[in-house]
């Protein structure tokens, strides 16, 4: 069994994100980049499935420039066997990523595709669902628990009313939520092994996918500073302000 894991290079979640002065996008100059946290959980789950004997190979794939090789190396340091870089001149939109992943699935023929439920840069939460629709595969999103038995994936997923358990036939697409697992600490031997693992490179045009943008970014601006709090002398004054100034009651 082969597992394909999609990963994305994003601004490190511990970095304070700043908008460019001209509001044309997010300033990434000299900013620390890392693997999308939800994708890291997906890689960890794929490696655990392999360690449990459910898979023979874990392949990490990403879309982007040469710098995205670092993200693939990070995935291979966790335990992925090899990497695949799909080179794109500009960061592709979710639909383009889904089409590229579908083309990769046609070449690699994985039985399971794992990816994070969303990327923390655009928070689109679209790629997994679009990939499943384009491939005609069943999907299980927001996975908090995953088990493989008898050619099926059983997924417990968090919903508004609690937990829902679904069973889908393989091949399938599963997106990882926060509580699926806690990614392991990457050791130095793992990092050294990752340097020797192969990374294949493909151009998006080789997969026959048009990655031209369909969306137009108008502007990116930072949130205004929050107004300072106000102290009131008593409860009656608080209620009066909430009624007539804030108008929330």
238 touches 43 (CB < 8 A): no
**For residue range 58-88, what is the model confidence (pLDDT) as tens digits?**
999 999 888 899 999 999 999 999 999 999 8
Note the pLDDT of residue 15: 87
Note the pLDDT of residue 239: 92
Note the pLDDT of residue 88: 87
Note the pLDDT of residue 115: 95
Q: Read off the pTM.
A: 0.86
CA distance 14 to 11: 8
Residues of the chain with pLDDT under 50: none
Note the pLDDT of residue 9: 94
Note the pLDDT of residue 182: 94
CA distance 51 to 25: 41
Delineate the domains of the chain, giving CATH numbers in brackets. Answer: 2-215 (3.40.50.620)
Q: Which residues contact 224 (CB under 8 A, 6 or more apart)?
A: none
- For 111, other C-beta atoms within 10 Å of its C-beta total 16
The structure tokens 């399938």 sit at: 172
Note the pLDDT of residue 107: 93
């Amino acid at each position: 069994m082969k597992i394909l894991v999609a990963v994305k290079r994003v601004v490190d979640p511990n970095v304070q994100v700043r908008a460019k002065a001209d509001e044309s996008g997010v300033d990434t100059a000299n900013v620390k980049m890392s693997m999308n946290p939800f994708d890291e959980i997906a890689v960890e789950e794929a490696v655990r499935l392999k360690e449990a004997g459910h898979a023979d190979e874990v392949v990490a794939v990403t879309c982007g420039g040469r710098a995205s090789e670092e993200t693939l190396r990070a995935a291979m340091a966790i335990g992925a066997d090899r990497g695949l870089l799909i080179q794109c001149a500009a960061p592709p939109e979710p639909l383009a990523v889904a089409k590229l992943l579908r083309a990769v699935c046609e070449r690699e023929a994985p039985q399971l595709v794992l990816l994070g439920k969303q990327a923390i840069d655009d928070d689109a939460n679209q790629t997994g669902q679009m990939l499943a629709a384009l491939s005609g595969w069943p999907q299980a999103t927001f996975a908090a628990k995953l088990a493989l038995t008898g050619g099926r994936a059983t997924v417990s997923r968090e919903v508004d009313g609690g937990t829902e358990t679904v069973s889908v036939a393989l091949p399938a697409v599963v997106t990882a939520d926060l509580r699926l697992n806690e990614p392991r600490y990457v050791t130095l031997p793992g990092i050294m092994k990752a340097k020797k693992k192969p990374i294949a490179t493909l151009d998006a045009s080789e997969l026959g996918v048009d990655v031209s943008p369909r969306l137009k970014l108008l502007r990116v601006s930072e949130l205004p500073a929050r107004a300072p709090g106000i102290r009131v002398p008593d409860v009656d004054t608080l209620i009066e302000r909430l009624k007539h100034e804030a108008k929330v009651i």
